Amino acid sequence: MNKPLLNRREFSGLCVGFGLVAPTLAALSSATARGAAATVKFADGAAVPALGQGSAGLGQGRRPESAEEEALRTGLSLGMTLIDTAEMYGGGRSEALIGRATAGQRDRVFLVSKVWPNHVAGNGIARACEASLARLGTDRLDLYLLHWPSRDADLSSIVAGFESLRAAGRIRRWGVSNFNVSDMEDLFRVPHGDRCATNQVLYNLDNRGIEHDLLPWCEQHGMPVMAYSPLGGSGAGLLRDPTLARIAAAHDCSVAAAALAWTIRNGNVIAIPESGSAEHVKENAVGLSLTLTHEDLQALDTAHPSANR
């Protein structure tokens, strides 16, 4: 093996000699922990980044919409090309904002939206889909989800509605959200229910319940899971967590990036953090290529143990 031109100490000395700031040990070490951006595959072979962009709070007046659009475009430029939304987010305003932010870039984006369970009876699912497509300014969705289990229509009619949209080219695949294992088993018992592409659920370091049943069930059935609120949702207490802060410092990244790297660590989870700030999106994007060490994971397991149920 060729001897390196400079070792770390010599390199740091040269930096000081030339009046430069030498990289920290953490920064140098973290470079070896970052590799290719993580991806997740659906059962049909479609690959998406393991880190996408959520939008539950976008388009609702919390921030200037121009800043939120810039944040989405920044995410796209950094490889976070999956964007998740829903018709109920701001009464459709989130979808409309995403449509503006992605105008002219549709082929770069993996678009996900959701239908509210009150809208699936009869021909409602088709009407809801068409309304979402119009707001998003597109002719198709890459993934269309049932937002919650529905009491207004049986699963077989919901699946039939999704399959009709897929056959018409209005959606490319469909899935569900907030289903537990019992719900998933009911779904798989109806005709074509096993064509479900994903289940989007709450998952983060403080909410690990799916690790005991739902996550293994989905893995067994070749189905990736989408994780909403991967940073802990409102309040974002995880961003003040001392264990995460120490790990983030060791990797020279933000606490958010470390938390996101944990969420997508097993290769079958797609995390969809929301951010209305381009700077925060840049911080989040580091998590896409960050690999936590075995010691990091052990420390987080100790600080945030997975409950029995």
Q: Is 203 a catalytic residue?
A: no
**Does an H or E element contain 105, and which?**
none
CA–CA separation, 196 and 22 (whole Å):
51
Q: Of 89, 144, 203, 228, which residue is the catalytic one?
A: 89
Query: Do the Cβ atoms of 78 and 285 come closer than 8 Å?
Result: yes
Amino acid residing at 161: G
Closest C-alpha among 30, 12, 77 to residue 49: 77
User: Angle, nearest 10°, between helix axes 65-77 and 278-285?
Assistant: 20
Amino acid residing at 271: A
- How far the first Cα of the chain sits from its last, in Å, is 51
List Cα–Cα distances, 119 to 7, 44, 122, 179, in angstroms: 64, 27, 9, 17
Catalytic residues: 89
